[in-house]
Amino acid sequence: MTGRVEIFEVGPRDGLQNETAEISVAGKVRLIDCLSGAGFRRIEVASFVSPKWVPQMASSGAVLAAITRAPGVSYAALTPNMKGLEAAIAARADEVAIFGSASEGFSKANINATIAESLERFAPVAEAARAANLPVRGYVSCVVECPYDGPVAPEAVARVVAALRDMGVYEVSLGDTIGRGRPEAVDAMLGAVRNEMPADALAGHFHDTAGRALDNIEVALGHGLRVFDAAVGGLGGCPYAPGAAGNVATEAVHDWLIALGFETGLDRAVLDAAARIARDLRAGKDADG
């Protein structure tokens, strides 16, 4: 297989959101500024959610204000509701994301809403973002398995993808939130989802708890997907997905894609430097450690 595959770096958001010890704004900025020189087109750096739910992301506005924005890089933020969108606009995020779930259990645990309620909540967010000229990405969590409800039917994923598509999201990222998906299940899920959304508007978002993320990426490549979310240093997890490990490591995805014959446009040495910063931040060695 040849051609270009994009890695969407989510480390500063998905990677750090689960850290319980507070990481300073300076430490987060150091990581993001390093990542800005790696060749990414999109980096998720912020999350305008309730600080009571995810305290680590409370500094998102300060982080966006302090980073050095590299030309051509889109700095992305999660926005679960209108309040989040307003904060993202004030902080000059370049794009935003609404995030739903294919399973009721995770939807309730993560955003305190049923799937139907969450879609009702997202519609005005997507509309207002479009009016503000902000591209909107959609996430669907628990695309193969849910920590509360067990296995998730491919059709349930396809229904949420279709709803997000109808709201005008430019891409839907499919999350194996607990990182336990098997390639056969990912294959079946993608078969159903592709009836609703073309492969070039889909991204894979694999956590790597069971060590199958690279296999799952290979399955998704076979379905035509060419965008994958990853976090430098394999950081992360979701506070509302008990037991889930971090995102698959950006370095590992990069190396795997190169081995398969793809290009990523990323500078491996910068990825290594960013992974070191990420590990330092996690170990409590902040800013200039």
The yes-or-no answer on residue 238 being catalytic is yes
For every residue of 217-240, DSSP letters joined together read: HHHHHHTT--EEEEBGGG----TT
Residue 48 binds which of ligand HMG, Mg ion, none (CB < 5-8 A, kind-dependent): ligand HMG
Give the Å distances, CA to CA, from 27 to 15, 126, 163. Answer: 13, 31, 37
Q: Which is nearer to Mg ion, 55 or 239 (CB)?
A: 239
Question: Which listed residue (49, 152, 160, 275) binds ligand HMG by CB under 6 A?
Answer: 49
Q: Strands, DSSP E only, in 93-200?
A: 95-101, 136-141, 145-146, 150-151, 171-176
Determine the Cα–Cα distance for residues 277 and 131; give it in Å rounded to an integer.
37
Which residue of the chain is nearest ligand HMG when measured via CB? 175
Which region, judged by CB under 6 A, interacts with ligand HMG, from 20-28, 78-86, 126-134, 196-204?
78-86
Residue 81 binds which of Mg ion, ligand HMG, none (CB < 5-8 A, kind-dependent): ligand HMG
Q: Convert 108-144 to b/e letters by CB count within 10 Å (16 or more is b).
A: bbbbebebeebbebbeebbebbeeeebbbbbbbbbbb
Cβ atoms of 278 and 18 within 8 Å: the answer is no
Answer yes or no whether residue 145 interacts with Mg ion by CB under 5 A.
no
Residue 141 binds which of ligand HMG, Mg ion, none (CB < 5-8 A, kind-dependent): ligand HMG
Q: Quote the least distance from Cβ 216 to ligand HMG, whole Å.
A: 13
Strand 145-146 vs strand 150-151: parallel, antiparallel, or unpaired? antiparallel
Question: Which listed residue (175, 204, 234, 246) binds ligand HMG by CB under 6 A?
Answer: 175
Question: Which listed residue (4, 26, 90, 112) binds ligand HMG by CB under 6 A?
Answer: 112
Q: Helix, strand or coil for residue 270?
A: helix
Answer yes or no whether residue 228 interacts with ligand HMG by CB under 6 A.
no
Determine the Cα–Cα distance for residues 56 and 53; give it in Å rounded to an integer.
9
Residues within window 3-62 making contact with Mg ion, judged by CB under 5 A: 14
Cβ atoms of 229 and 203 within 8 Å: the answer is yes
Q: Helix, strand or coil for residue 245?
A: coil
Answer yes or no whether residue 54 interacts with ligand HMG by CB under 6 A.
yes
Answer yes or no whether residue 125 interacts with ligand HMG by CB under 6 A.
no
Cβ atoms of 141 and 157 within 8 Å: the answer is no
Q: Which is nearer to ligand HMG, 34 or 244 (CB)?
A: 244
- Count residues contacting ligand HMG (CB under 6 A)? 27
Q: Which is nearer to ligand HMG, 206 or 261 (CB)?
A: 206
Q: Which is nearer to ligand HMG, 22 or 272 (CB)?
A: 22
Residue 256 binds which of Mg ion, ligand HMG, none (CB < 5-8 A, kind-dependent): none
Q: Quote the least distance from Cβ 225 to Mg ion, whole Å.
A: 16
Two tokens, residue 64: 């966006």
Q: How many residues does the chain have?
A: 289
**Chain residues in the site for ligand HMG (CB under 6 A):** 14, 17, 47-50, 52-54, 78, 80-81, 83-84, 87, 99, 110-112, 139, 141, 175, 177, 205, 207, 238, 240
**Chain residues in the site for Mg ion (CB under 5 A):** 14
Residues that are catalytic: 238
